[in-house]
Amino acid sequence: MNDPREGDAVVRAPKGGAGAAAVRNASEGEGAQALYAARKKIYPRTVHGRFDRWRWVLVWATQIVFYGLPWLTWNGRQAVLFDLAARKFYIFGFVFWPQDFIYLTALLIISALALFLFTAVGGRLWCGYACPQTVYTEIFMWIERKIEGGRAQRMLLDEAPVSARKVAVKGAKHAAWIAVSLWTGFTFVGYFTPITELLGAVAALATGPWETFWILFYGFATYGNAGWMREQVCKYMCPYARFQSAMFDRDTLIITYDAGRGEPRGPRSRKAVRAEIPLGDCVNCGLCVDVCPTGIDIREGLQYECIGCAACIDACDEVMGKFGYPRGLIRYSTENALAHGWDARKMVRRVLRARTLVYGAILFAVCAALAGALALRVPLKVDIVRDRASLAREVEGGRIENVYRIQVMNTQERAHRYRIGASGLPGIAVASDAQIEVPAATTRQVPLRIQIDPGTTAKGSHRIEVEVQSLDDAGVVAREQSVFLVR
Amino acid sequence: MSDGKRLIYILWPSFIVAGVATGVVFTVFDPTDLRFFDREITLSRTAVYSIGFFLFWLFAAGSSALTCFFQRSSADLNRPRGAPFDRPQTPPGKGTVH
Ligand code: SF4
Ligand code: SF4
């Protein structure tokens, strides 16, 4: 490796390193091993290369969105705000109410299907580049590297007896980790409560008890998961990692070691002529194991612990370069491609297959349904309940009156004036205020009195329809059924 | 299974379930509409959501803990008093216990 911080003379545990030991430990399964307590700490070696650059691109992209989004404004309010205290979700131009949970459900179904489709095609690309666990681990490891130094220095530091320097270095690292964690916790809570007010409250040390609690809680989770748990989250806690095999098939993109080309592995001189040595291309340098954040040896084949981070590809490509061999001994490929020696074109053609077409078709249908529903969504909801205390009564002129409560929910971010009308029985009319003004994104509940002409309707209950029509927008209208009683 | 791992197996799945349950239940019910032993709830919505979350977590963790409890192998149950967990023991006269 040409990493100046780590140099070539690296302290490395005997072949396989600490990582391999951890894997052997893990692969013994549910035995007597105390996996959490006694896990071997993994010191992934830093690696630079194509895929490492991609990961950093995604770290930046996802975190700019995550940390930045709550600060965007729209219509004079926070653009994305899940205002739990007011039970309203704002997402750019839309305001969602609990009654809109059907959209949320559709969104969840879309996410699940997209995940299935994406996983069937791209394997664990999500894990390797965009999963928060990966992204924060990457950030935390960067901090660790900046403060504690490279892999060898970190191992030495951990073995060293307690000293003022060790305490200072470790303290600085944890302080930096905690700072990032707290900011992350603050941003997280800022999605649920207006972030500018929250910042003011934090600055004045006047956050509410629950806000404080959740900032600390999320911050602590970040610190624990990215600083301490790391690959264990992927191995033992992530449900996605567990059921990925259900979505994988032989055409799924995975990280593979080309055993046909690499074996038999063995060390050799850099000057050895490739065609003349009785060895495959793997020089058995162990770098792929050293860089692996989950501490596995990809040469043993696909393992569920592999998060697809491609660090081993970067490491091996560099080694291949030094020996003048073509890169790609470890590479992105599919089981089928590897078995049949397919080229990239043939591999890409297999993206279209029964499984992905079915996932894709369902996904498209649900997306279209959601888009249609959102486009046709009327920003008005009406709910009518009969006043249980009063049944039908006779009022002046002998007319029969029923009393209701009407709830008018204006889900648009501008005020509306509505006309309330009733239909379904002879001479039916609204006797209470027939117009109602509802401010932007609010609900109003008012009593509603409906009367009909006397002597025209038989005794019993009759269906009626109440219509609420916006006076300034003909498209905003809602109808609601109810019952009119005649005694 | 180590105690640490068992703890994670109890607390973590119940955490996920509690999160989902909180989302579903409080989408359907507005905390301000709920009553506590026939009395109005004066807590803020955020407080009710949070307390609700921890109650769900507690219940779900209880279920996970029972699962762990019932899952103990016969080796665990047969082990002599004081012997460590998870080491296959062969009590006298019982043959191999799996
Ligand atoms: S085997 Fe390779 S791709 Fe998989 S986790 Fe380890 S380094 Fe990343
Ligand atoms: S990095 Fe490549 S050459 Fe080195 S041990 Fe791994 S597979 Fe073999």
Question: What is chain B's Cα-based Rg?
Answer: 21
Q: Which residues of B touch A104 (CB under 8 A)?
A: 27
Q: Tokens in use for B25? A: 């239940």
Q: What are the residue ranges in chain A where pLDDT is below 50?
A: 1-38
CA of A287 to the centre of ligand 2 (A): 6
Task: Determine contact, residues A20/A297, Cβ cutoff 8 Å.
Answer: yes
Give the separation between CA A33 and CA A27, rounded to whole angstroms. Answer: 10
- A9-47: b (≥16 Cβ within 10 Å) or e: eeebbeebbbbbbbbebbeeeeeebebbeebbebbbbbb
- Within 8 A by CB and 6+ apart from A159, the residues are none
Task: Determine contact, residues A32/B87, Cβ cutoff 8 Å.
Answer: yes
- Residue contact A84–B87, C-beta within 8 A: no
Q: In three state form, how does the secondary structure of B36-52 look? A: ECCEECCCCHHHHHHHH
Nearest ligand 1 atom to the CA of A292 is 7
Give CA separation, A432 vs A5, A461, A477, in Å.
Answer: 80, 21, 19
What are residue A88's DSSP bridge partners? A83
Reported as type and span, the H/E element at residue A95 is: strand A94-96
Ligand 2 pocket (Cβ < 6 Å) reads A 262, 265, 282-288, 299, 315-316, 319, 329-330
Q: What's the CA dihedral at A364, A366, A368, A369 to 10 degrees? A: 160
Give the separation between CA A405 and CA A391, rounded to whole angstroms. Answer: 13
Q: Is B84 helix (H, G, I), strand (E, B) or coil?
A: coil
pLDDT of residue B91: 52
- Residue contact A30–B1, C-beta within 8 A: yes
Q: In testing the pocket of ligand 1, which one of A307, A313, A330 has its CB within 8 Å of the most ligand atoms?
A: A307
pLDDT of residue B39: 85
Give the separation between CA A398 and CA A274, rounded to whole angstroms. Answer: 107
- Phi-psi region at B31: left, alpha or beta (left = phi > 0; alpha = psi -120 to 50): alpha
Does residue A247's CB lie within 6 angstroms of at least one atom of ligand 1? no
Ligand nearest to C-alpha A285: 2
Give CA separation, A30 vs A23, A236, A373, A479, B75, in Å.
Answer: 13, 12, 49, 60, 14
Q: How many CB pairs under 8 A join A and B?
A: 49
CA of A302 to the centre of ligand 2 (A): 15
State the architecture of A380-486 in CATH terms.
Sandwich (2.60)
Q: In testing the pocket of ligand 2, which one of A10, A256, A283, A291 has its CB within 8 Å of the most ligand atoms?
A: A283
pLDDT of residue A39: 59
- Residue contact B27–A33, C-beta within 8 A: no
Closest CA to A62 of A143, A146, A134, A142: A134
CA of A180 to the centre of ligand 1 (A): 26
Give the separation between CA A188 and CA A192, rounded to whole angstroms. Answer: 7
Helical axes A101-122 vs A239-247, angle rounded to 10°: 60
First CA to last CA distance, chain B: 15
Let me know if A131 is exposed, middle or buried by CB neighbors in 10 A (0-12, 13-18, 19+).
buried
What are residue A480's DSSP bridge partners? A466
- Residue contact B50–A87, C-beta within 8 A: no
Q: Which residue has the tokens 């560099």?
A: A318
- Tell me the domain boundaries of chain A: 1-38, 40-377, 380-486
HSE of A90 in the Cβ direction (CA atoms, 13 Å)? 26
Helical axes A164-189 vs A209-222, angle rounded to 10°: 130
**Nearest protein Cα to ligand 2, atom 4:** A285
- Phi-psi region at A409: left, alpha or beta (left = phi > 0; alpha = psi -120 to 50): beta
- Residue contact A85–B4, C-beta within 8 A: no
Any A CB within 8 A of B54 CB? no
Give the separation between CA B5 and CA A300, rounded to whole angstroms. Answer: 26
For residue A75, the one-letter residue type is: N
Closest CA to A482 of A379, A399, A404, A413: A404
pLDDT of residue A38: 45
Ligand nearest to C-alpha A258: 2
Other beta carbons within 10 Å of A136: 23
Q: Which of B3, B20, B27 to mutate to test the interface with A (most CBs of A within 10 A)?
A: B27
| Alpha-helical regions (H) of A73-190 | 101-122, 125, 132-148, 151-159, 164-189
Give the separation between CA A312 and CA A331, rounded to whole angstroms. Answer: 9
Reported as type and span, the H/E element at residue A8 is: none
**Nearest protein Cα to ligand 1, atom 7:** A292
CA angle A23, A26, A30 (to 5 degrees): 165
* Torsion angles phi and psi, residue A447, rounded to 5: -70, 150
Per DSSP, which regions of A334-434 are E strands? 380-386, 393-394, 400-410, 416-423, 429-430
Does residue A294's CB lie within 6 angstroms of at least one atom of ligand 1? yes
| Alpha-helical regions (H) of A40-125 | 50-68, 101-122, 125
98 residues of chain B, pLDDT tens digit each:
677 778 888 999 999 999 999 999 998 888 888 888 888 888 889 999 999 999 999 999 999 999 988 887 777 777 777 666 555 545 554 444 44
Does residue A296's CB lie within 6 angstroms of at least one atom of ligand 1? yes
Q: Tokens in use for A92? A: 């750019």
Any A CB within 8 A of B94 CB? no
- Residue contact A236–B8, C-beta within 8 A: yes
- Residue contact B86–A239, C-beta within 8 A: no
Let me know if A277 is exposed, middle or buried by CB neighbors in 10 A (0-12, 13-18, 19+).
exposed
Other beta carbons within 10 Å of A442: 13
Tell me the percentage of chain B whose pLDDT exceeds 70. Answer: 81
